[in-house]
Structure 1
Amino acid sequence: MRDKKNDLDQAAYEVFSENGYKNTNISAIVKRAGIAVGSFYNFYQSKEEIFLNVYVKENDRVRNQLIEQIDWKSEPATVIDQLFDYTLQAISNNKILNEWNKSNISKTLHDYYSGAGVKSYNFHHFLLKKFEEWLNKGNFSEEEKKKVLKVYSLIYYIDTHLSERDFDGYNETLGVLVKYFVRGLFS
């Protein structure tokens, strides 16, 4: 028996990858999936909801590739450079991930990652664990470790609440902030 939800998800991924969020409509997705428009609403309430599903899966896929590509045994400042370089390259070539900063859908994405999504965001937990490992290898007191992890939480908060539309030069500025923060800690 045909798995309509899987067909719908795959079609949505393809259409959003080709057109981005704004230039995609439900009829294009269902046409690609080969199902009726009414069937769409058996699985999703809106284009926004299916896009969030596609975005989360794509973000997880790209972040897992990033984890595999980066040399995590390098010095923390080098790792951060690699992380931002990889992320910027991956996002700039990806019409789905590019939506993080676009006004049509970014609030939904930011709300998800700052709310319920943070619990299941493996990349965030991976980075948090990596920071803890780096701090444990360093000569930091327990109080200093708590403060540094609080700063990490603040950076995550900033990333899930601000975007390029809120702050001109946001991506570059956040990268500079994180790079110099990490260099200052581990140099």
Structure 2
Amino acid sequence: MDNKKTQIYDSGKELFSLNGFKDTNVSDITKKAGVAVGTFYNYYSSKEKLFMDIFLDENVKLKKSCLQSIDINNSPLEVVRQMLALNVQGMKANPILREWYNRSVFNRIEQIYREENGLENFDFLYDSFHEVILTWQEEGKMRRDIDSKMIMTIFAAIINVDTHKEEIGIQYFPEVLDYMSEFIMKGLTDCP
């Protein structure tokens, strides 16, 4: 990566981590990076684009860490439960990833990112888990009549439920998420 782009990226990551997305602006990032504002726009079309690039990189690191922490030989239900729990813990612990829960911010970032990059470039939630799904399908542990990408989309939907826990009811949410995971996994592992 170009040295100036790296400086901008690293400065943005540090400032977004310290101040959050809303309270960080391009001027702050370029000042910290020691570059002109115009240089920023040579590499990133917007603050949102930089943030999303950082978010995606942090998300990939988290998913890889989650996968390394679980025993894939456990039952698919147990693996998914562990993966969901580790994912939620990791997102809440990382200030960049925690912005996912600030829906007004994240909806804006997501919209701009989709407009710039297209819908097909936004499948980031469980890409590294796809190989596990394919293996389970080959081993007969998961339904083969459902496309693996559809299964990945179902898992993404489970994660998205977490952003609606207040509407569901905080007191019920952990149990609701656990039941949803159980019911979905039973449906996906009931191989015809």
TM-score band, normalised by the shorter chain?
A: 0.7 to 0.9
The match for 2:120 is 116
Contact 2:99 2:106 in 1 (8 A): yes
The two structures have a TM-score, normalised by structure 1, of 0.77
Match of 2:130 among 125, 128, 131: 128
Contact 2:26 2:37 in 1 (8 A): yes
Aligned residues: 181
Q: Over residues 128-154 of structure 1, what are the superposed CA-to-partner deviations in whole Å (9 max), with x where a residue is unaligned?
A: 3312322332377xxx52237475154
Deviates further, 151-160 or 50-59: 151-160
- Paired with 1:162 and 1:107, the residues of 2 have a C-alpha distance of 19
The match for 2:40 is 40
Structure 1 residues 139 and 44, CA gap change in structure 2 (3 angstroms): closer
The two structures have a TM-score, normalised by structure 2, of 0.75
Contact 1:13 1:54 in 2 (8 A): yes
The match for 2:146 is 147
The match for 2:75 is 75
Q: CA deviation at 1:179?
A: 3.4
The match for 1:28 is 28
- Paired with 1:177 and 1:151, the residues of 2 have a C-alpha distance of 17
Amino acid at match of 1:105: F
Structure 1 residues 13 and 127, CA gap change in structure 2 (3 angstroms): same
Q: SS in structure 2 opposite 1:50? A: helix
Q: Over residues 88-111 of structure 1, what are the superposed CA-to-partner deviations in whole Å (9 max), with x where a residue is unaligned?
A: 110111121112232123354376
Q: CA deviation at 1:114?
A: 8.4
Structure 1 residues 164 and 139, CA gap change in structure 2 (3 angstroms): closer
- Identity over aligned pairs, percent: 26
Q: Over residues 12-38 of structure 1, what are the superposed CA-to-partner deviations in whole Å (9 max), with x where a residue is unaligned?
A: 111111122112111221122111222
The match for 1:179 is 182
Question: Which consecutive unaligned segments of at least 5 residues does structure 2 have?
Answer: none
Question: Which consecutive unaligned segments of at least 5 residues does structure 1 have?
Answer: none
Backbone CA RMSD of aligned residues: 3.4
- Paired with 2:98 and 2:106, the residues of 1 have a C-alpha distance of 10
Amino acid at match of 2:128: F
Match of 1:138 among 133, 137, 140: 140
Contact 2:30 2:37 in 1 (8 A): yes
Structure 1 residues 60 and 88, CA gap change in structure 2 (3 angstroms): same
